[in-house]
Amino acid sequence: MSEQVPDPAPGARFSHVYSQRGEPTQDSERMRLRIGATIQSGVLQNDRTVQHLVEREIGIRAPWSESWTVFLTEINLKDVLDLITVIADYLRTWENGEKLATSWLAEIDRIFREENVHYRTEPKGGVRFYIDENFAQARSSVIAALSGTRYSNALAEFEKGMAALAQAPPTERVRLGVCLGQQKRFSG
């Protein structure tokens, strides 16, 4: 009789356990489809206020007759990402709004992780670049290590580097330039 190997991820979908994920991407058709389906199937499915908010806050025509899944595949990525924040802000105006917004953002973060895109939401609803778990942990460690008054200048320079990474999709060249710039300051 053969022994069964324990399952490394009980209950996880096949593709989440066995598919090669590769590097995180900037955009994903599946991400857009899933966000649209989340809007259509959740508390917002029959809410016409969202269409008004899209036009007023983002400045693009909203889907009055077509589906959100179609609409999100046709608009610019920045508008998709802005929509996440606009919806979080709108949900906060409802009764139990903070709970609804938190649930919305948790679902969006789950989609971001599962579709392997380099974004995460922050608690207030803004979408931010996210390189990977190791980068996030290293960043937190550096900030903690530089938090003393003795290192305030180094922390300020580090924060400038992090701000530069947040300005555009972080590429290897930008990451390398920030690292080399910091190294030069500490060694020179």
How confident is the model over 80-106, as a mean pLDDT?
96
- Asked if residues 129 and 164 have their Cβ atoms less than 8 Å apart, the reply is no
Q: Are residues 154 and 175 in the same domain?
A: yes
- The 10s digit of each residue's pLDDT in 57-78 is 999 988 776 689 999 999 999 9
**Nearest partner of 89 among 80, 79, 100, judged by Cα:** 100
How confident is the model over 88-112, as a mean pLDDT?
96
Helices (H), 75-146: 77-91, 97-114, 133-145
Residue 72 included in any domain: yes
Contacts of residue 49, Cβ cutoff 8 Å, sequence gap at least 6:
90
Task: Show the domain range for 70.
Answer: 23-129
- Say what percent of the chain tops pLDDT 70: 81
Which pLDDT value is given to residue 188? 46
Q: Are residues 121 and 30 in the same domain?
A: yes
Encoded tokens for 183: 């190294």
For residue 121, the cross-strand partners are 127
Which pLDDT value is given to residue 146? 85
Which pLDDT value is given to residue 86? 97
CA dihedral angle for residue 89, residue 121, residue 114, residue 21, rounded to 10 degrees: 150
Q: Are residues 116 and 183 in the same domain?
A: no
Q: Are residues 120 and 139 in the same domain?
A: no
Q: Are residues 122 and 35 in the same domain?
A: yes
Q: Are residues 62 and 148 in the same domain?
A: no
How confident is the model over 74-102, as a mean pLDDT?
96
Which pLDDT value is given to residue 166? 60
- The 10s digit of each residue's pLDDT in 25-62 is 789 999 999 999 999 888 887 788 999 999 999 999 88
Report how far residue 91's alpha carbon sits from residue 75's, in angstroms, rounded to the nearest whole number.
22
Which pLDDT value is given to residue 88? 97
Q: Are residues 75 and 112 in the same domain?
A: yes
- Asked if residues 118 and 77 have their Cβ atoms less than 8 Å apart, the reply is no
**Nearest partner of 80 among 68, 92, 65, 94, judged by Cα:** 68
Which pLDDT value is given to residue 111? 96
